[in-house]
Structure 1
Amino acid sequence: MQHVLVYADSLSWGIVPGTRQRLPFGQRWPGAMELALLEQGREVRVIEDCLNGRRTVWDDPFKPGRNGLQGLAQRIEIHSPLALVVLMLGTNDFQSSHQNSAWHSSQGLAAIVAAIRQAPIEPGMPVPPILVVAPPPITVAHGPVTPKFEGGDLRCVGMAAALEEVARTMDCHFLDAGQVVTASPVDGVHLDADQHARLAQALTPVVARLL
C-alpha cells in the first residue's frame, strides 16, 4: 500500500462555495483521485491533510494553527513512509490580512518544501517526492468571503509562474490547476463539484506516473 499525503487548504478540503458544508469524499478531488487510482488496480491511500484557511508560512490573525509550517515535520513523521506529497497551497496567502505578492507566496511554498525534506523521519524511510499544484487564480470574491479576499484577485497575479519556478529550482514536480479548473462563480475562491472532478481527472495520471 502506497501512501500519498495531500497537504492543502479549503480548496482541497472540499468546502461547498457559499456555504460551510463539505463535499463527500468521492466528490472532492483527493478522494476522487484515490478512487480512480484504486480502479486502476493500484494499492494506494490518499491521506487528506487539508485545513480551511491554511497559509504557506503566515499566521491567521483570527484563527490559530493556519501557518502551514506549524507541525508539518511531525505530520511527515506520522504518515511516513510516504510515496508522494502533493502540495496545493497559496490561495490564503492573498487574504486581505496580508499584502503578499505571488513572489512572497512562492517563497512560503519553498519553505514548506524544505520543511518536508528536513523532517526527522525514521532511518531508512524515503524522503518523498513532492508534486506542487498551483491553485487556480482567485477571481473577484463574492458572498461571505468578500472582505476576507478583497483584492486577492490582484495580488495573486503570477502565482502559477512563481510556483513553477520554485518547483523547478527545488526539483519538485509541478501541475498548474489553473489550466484545468477555475474558481467558482459563487464565491470566486473555491471549487465547485464539477471542478473537483476535473482536477482529479487531471491529477490521476500524473500521480500514477510518480508512484
Structure 2
Amino acid sequence: MKKTVLCYGDSLTWGTDAASGGRHDFEDRWPSVLQAALGPAVDVIAEGLGGRTTAYDDGLADCDRNGARLLPTLLQTHGPLDLVIIMLGTNDLKPIIHGTAIGARQGMKKLVSLVRFHDWGRAYKAPGILIVSPPPLCETNNPLFAPLFQGGVTEAQKLASLYADLADELGCAFFDAGTVARTTPVDGVHLDAENTRAVGRGLEPVVRRILEL
C-alpha cells in the first residue's frame, strides 16, 4: 500500500531563493527531491509557508504563521498519514517572535503532541514523526535579515542538540539538516538550490528506514 508523508515547514520547505527573491524550481525543493528519490510507492506532500513558527504568533504577518494553530487542520486535510516531517524553528529565533532556541524546542514539543493526539479515527493510527533541525543561520550583511534575526546565529547553533534530546525524550526520529546543508550568506537564512536539494537527499535513507521501504 502506498505511503503518505507530510513535510511541514517554513520558507526552507516552500523553497525561497534568497538570490532572486523568488522560489526555487519545483524539482529543486527538498520535498520534491525526496519524492523523486523514494519513487511512486510514496506520496510526499509539501506544506511549506514562509515565516511559519512552531507555535508563536506573528502580529506583522499577512496570514496566520502559527504552526501549532494550523497543523491540526492540515493533518485532517491530508490524512491518513504514515509520517510527518517537521522542520521548523528558524522563525522562532527572531527577537520579535521569541528569540531563543529553547522557545523553539518547546514549540516543537507542542507540534509533536498535536500529531500524536490528533483524532485519526478508528481505522488509522497516528503517523511516525521525524523532527528535523534546520540548517543553522549564518552571518550576513543583509540589511533586513541581519537585524531581523539579531542574536539568531548563536541561538541557531543550539537547535540540533535541543531537538535531538527532545526526539529521544518523545520517541521520535531525528535528523540534523545542518549536517548536509548550509544557509547562504546572501541573507543568512535560506538555502541555495544545491543546498535545498541536499536536504532531500539526506532525508531519503532516514525516511526509508522509518517507513520500512
| TM-score (normalizing by structure 2) | 0.92
SS of aligned partner of 2:189? coil
CA contact (8 A) 1:141 1:150 kept: no
User: Gaps (5+ residues) in structure 1?
Assistant: none
Give the drift of 1:25: 1.7
Q: CA separation in 2, counterparts of 1:122 and 1:78?
A: 13
Name the residue aligned to 1:124: 123
CA contact (8 A) 1:141 1:149 kept: no
Q: CA separation in 2, counterparts of 1:92 and 1:75?
A: 20
Name the residue aligned to 1:56: 54
Q: CA separation in 2, counterparts of 1:166 and 1:142?
A: 33
Give RMSD over aligned pairs: 1.4
Aligned pairs for 1:106-125 within 5 A: 106-125=105-124
Which residue of 45, 59, 67 corresponds with 2:43?
45
Residue 145 of structure 2 aligns with an amino acid whose one-letter code is V
Determine if the alignment matches structure 1 residue 168 to structure 2 residue 195. no
Q: CA separation in 1, counterparts of 2:98 and 2:86?
A: 22
- Residues 50-71 of structure 1: CA deviation (Å, up to 9, x unaligned): 1100000111120131110113
| TM-score (normalizing by structure 1) | 0.93
Identity of aligned residues (%): 38
Q: CA separation in 2, counterparts of 1:186 and 1:141?
A: 6
Residue 61 of structure 1 aligns with an amino acid whose one-letter code is G
The farther-off stretch of 72-81 and 4-13 is 72-81
Residue 20 of structure 1 aligns with an amino acid whose one-letter code is G
Q: CA separation in 2, counterparts of 1:174 and 1:93?
A: 19
- Residues 146-203 of structure 1: CA deviation (Å, up to 9, x unaligned): 3322221123231110011111101000011111111112111111111112111111
Residue 77 of structure 1 aligns with an amino acid whose one-letter code is Q
Q: CA separation in 2, counterparts of 1:99 and 1:196?
A: 25
CA contact (8 A) 1:59 1:65 kept: yes
SS of aligned partner of 1:146? helix
Give the drift of 1:5: 0.0
User: Gaps (5+ residues) in structure 2?
Assistant: none
SS of aligned partner of 2:72? helix
CA contact (8 A) 1:77 1:122 kept: no
Q: CA separation in 1, counterparts of 2:94 and 2:20?
A: 18
Residue 6 of structure 2 aligns with an amino acid whose one-letter code is L
Give the drift of 1:207: 0.7
State the aligned residue count.
208
Residue 134 of structure 1 aligns with an amino acid whose one-letter code is S
Stretches of 4+ aligned residues off by more than 4 angstroms: none
